[in-house]
């Protein structure tokens, strides 16, 4: 199912392109395919926003109080428990993301074999970043172990962390983008934009705090020399 919204000249002639106007035209065209109040779309947006908020609030609460570790008997058990909850929340987010795409129109210009193959490439690249990040960090490193006092000797700098910062987040974003392109879904593209914005906000919140944890660890190590 597809729904045309604007004619081919909505962004002006090719000889005099205003890229800001072109960006606005693309966004307007995408929004023309999407019902933002469709229940699954709303649920997907809420899940996308809620998940990083949840794990950051819980992790900082644990870092300040150690109550989760105390209740579950050890920092490792508490970290594994939080990791399990995060995995379930992420599965629920992916479910609503997929349902939102299925319930909204497809875009003809994306519904092509070339676009589908491009989506597969994005999905493959994103999966590589996510899986290699997990391999480099391990379970506790991936799921906020540093907030539980489970610290590595130093911050991880090998692949994929030597290619870009926060590869787990951007790999996940690439997965959603690839999934949206494969489904020729304007709703999926808009939801992927929400994913990217939320992850960017999360990194601005998390990175200084994580850096401070390792700064304190290094300072304590110097004191005990």
> Which of 75, 93, 66, 56 lies closest to 203, judged by CA?
56
Is the confidence at residue 3, as pLDDT, over 60? no
pLDDT score, position 10: 44
Binding residues for S-adenosyl-L-methionine: 124-126, 206-207
135 vs 158: CA distance, rounded Å: 11
pLDDT score, position 134: 96
Tens of pLDDT, residue by residue over 142-187, are 999 999 999 887 778 899 999 998 999 999 999 999 999 999 999 9
pLDDT score, position 104: 95
> Which of 196, 205, 194, 202 lies closest to 96, judged by CA?
194
Split at pLDDT 50, 70, 90, the class of 220 is confident
Split at pLDDT 50, 70, 90, the class of 1 is very low
Residues contacting residue 155 through CB under 8 Å, at least 6 positions apart = 210, 214
pLDDT score, position 187: 96
Split at pLDDT 50, 70, 90, the class of 225 is low
Contact 151, 218 (CB under 8 A): no
Is the confidence at residue 13, as pLDDT, over 70? no
68 vs 77: CA distance, rounded Å: 9
Binding residues: 124-126, 206-207
Tens of pLDDT, residue by residue over 81-132, are 999 999 999 999 999 999 999 999 999 989 999 999 999 999 999 999 999 9
Other CB atoms within a 10 A radius of the CB of residue 50 amount to 14
């Amino acid at each position: 199912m597809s729904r045309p919204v604007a004619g081919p000249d909505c962004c002006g002639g090719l000889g005099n392109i205003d890229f800001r106007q072109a960006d606005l035209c693309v966004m307007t065209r995408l929004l023309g395919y999407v019902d933002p109040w469709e229940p699954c779309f709303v649920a997907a947006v809420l899940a996308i926003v809620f998940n990083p908020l949840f794990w950051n609030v819980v992790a900082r609460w644990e870092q300040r109080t150690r109550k989760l570790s105390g209740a579950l008997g050890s920092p490792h058990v508490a970290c594994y428990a939080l990791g399990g909850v995060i995995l379930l929340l992420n599965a629920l987010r992916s479910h609503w993301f997929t349902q939102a795409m299925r319930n909204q129109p497809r875009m003809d210009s994306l519904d092509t074999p070339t676009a589908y193959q491009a989506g597969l490439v994005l999905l493959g690249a994103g999966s590589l970043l996510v899986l290699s990040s997990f391999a480099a960090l391990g379970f506790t490193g991936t799921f906020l172990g540093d907030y539980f006092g489970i610290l590595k000797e130093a911050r991880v700098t090998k692949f994929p962390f030597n290619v870009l910062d926060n590869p787990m987040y951007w790999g996940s974003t690439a997965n959603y983008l690839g999934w949206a392109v494969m489904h020729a879904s304007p709703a999926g593209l808009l939801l992927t934009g929400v994913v990217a914005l939320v992850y960017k906000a999360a990194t601005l919140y998390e990175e200084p705090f994580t850096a401070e944890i390792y700064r304190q660890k290094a300072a304590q190590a110097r004191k005990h020399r």
